[in-house]
Amino acid sequence: MLAARTHVAGEPLRLEEVPRPEPTGSEVLIRVGGCGVCHTDLHLARTDRLHIERPLTLGHEVAGWIDSWGPGASAGLRRARLAGENGVVVFGGWGCGACRDCRRGQEQRCGSSRSPGFQLDGGYAEYLLVPDPRHLVGLGDLDPVRAAPLADAGVTPFRAVARAAAWLEPGARALLIGSGGLGQFAIQYLRRLPEVVIGVREIDPEKLDVAAALGADLGFLAGEEDLIFAGLGGPADVVFDFVGTDDTLALATRFVAPGGLVSLVGEAGGRMEFGFEALPVEAWLTTTSWGSPDDLRDVVRLARRRRLQWTTETMPLADAEAAHQRLADGEVPGRLVLVP
């Protein structure tokens, strides 16, 4: 089968013929319908910062169709009513299934988690081997090609917003830094909460237009930061950083309220200072990575009820490197999906 793989950090992805996996035990083989292209994939392919073993097939935002499975997967597929023609989206935080976090349904936190496109081969390929049917969520009438971004761009901000609930009472002020693939979902989750003021800081004016159409109240371009306090009506109760560079974290520090929350989602590798002098008093800091399996089921439910909007643009799997370049150049308004 065809796969787009990273061999050396900073070198173009290589399109290769690799053996098609054979599912054994509880494994399920997914015929990939589409795999979203995420900024994290760029960081993985082009830097050594995220410590992966190469060669590796990238891609952690996968949806498709069940192709075949090992004998140990039959009962799980039956229980989840997943056998048949319907599409599935793949939950990507593959934990051990046995530790305290996994048993509590927080599998994305598992200390020995191995995820597709990070520690194991991912979805930039014609097929993806999934270790267990519990990682699959049925898509009903949603098209897997279009639904692929739900696996990360959809679920990760869902969890970030859910974890910020205590700070998002009516009248609260939220500032989003970056409104690309993930930020556009975050705006919609925030809009579902009563009376939250939503400000977006972006470097791309077109993305600000999209943010406004999705329900953001205020948009600030880079260079307009002096307007943020007045626009929001004060410091932000929550700053969501969907970029995660030193610069954007410095903005988060500047605009978070005393007692407010900085939620770091973007994996650009930035750092911020922590300490009394560094932050408003009693501010909280957290990261969010993936969501839980239940979070993904909730997101799919919203999508199936047509409560979420997102735009996808497809490119052939063979053009994976060109897709990375377009994302690096900031030329992607929604989510790029690679189609084998």
CB of 170 to Zn ion, least distance (A): 31
In whole angstroms, the minimum distance from the beta carbon of 17 to Zn ion comes to 26
Q: What is the rounded CA–CA span in Å between residue 325 and residue 143?
A: 26
Nearer to Zn ion, 185 or 255 (CB): 185
Residue 71 Cβ vs Zn ion, minimum distance, rounded to whole Å: 24
Is the CB of residue 243 less than 8 Å from the CB of residue 177? yes
Q: How far is the CB of 81 from Zn ion (least distance, A)?
A: 25
Q: Whole-number minimum distance, CB 118 to Zn ion, in Å?
A: 10
Q: How wide is the angle at C-alpha 95 spanned by C-alphas 90 and 100, nearest 5°?
A: 135
Cβ closest to Zn ion, residue 75 vs residue 98: 98
Distance CA 95, CA 112 (A): 6
Which one, 180 or 260, has the nearer CB to Zn ion? 180
Q: Which is nearer to Zn ion, 233 or 330 (CB)?
A: 330
Half-sphere exposure (CA, 13 Å, Cβ side) for 122?
38
Q: Length of the chain, please?
A: 340
Cβ 62 to Zn ion, closest distance in Å? 11
Q: Which is nearer to Zn ion, 38 or 243 (CB)?
A: 38
Distance CA 180, CA 327 (A): 10
Minimum Å gap between C-beta 239 and Zn ion is 20
- Give Cα 334 distance to the centre of its chain: 13
Backbone angles phi, psi at 163, to 5 degrees: -70, -15
> Where along the sequence are the contacts to Zn ion (CB under 5 A)?
38, 40, 95-96, 99, 102, 110, 152
Q: What gap in Å lies between CA 303 and CA 187, rounded to an integer?
A: 15
Name the residue nearer to Zn ion (CB basis): 181 or 199: 181
> CA-based angle 323:312:123, to the nearest 5?
55
Q: Which is nearer to Zn ion, 110 or 232 (CB)?
A: 110
Instruction: Write the CB contacts of 275 (distance below 8 Å, at least 6 apart in sequence).
Output: none
Q: Which is nearer to Zn ion, 61 or 217 (CB)?
A: 61
Give me the least distance between CB of 117 and Zn ion, in Å please.
Answer: 8
Q: Write out the E strands in the chain.
A: 2-6, 14-17, 28-37, 56-57, 62-69, 87-90, 127-130, 136-138, 173-177, 197-202, 218-221, 236-241, 256-264, 284-287, 312-316, 335-339
Query: Which SS3 state, helix, strand or coil, does residue 336 take?
Result: strand
Distances (CA, A) of 44 to 6, 196, 282, 311, 330: 8, 35, 34, 24, 17
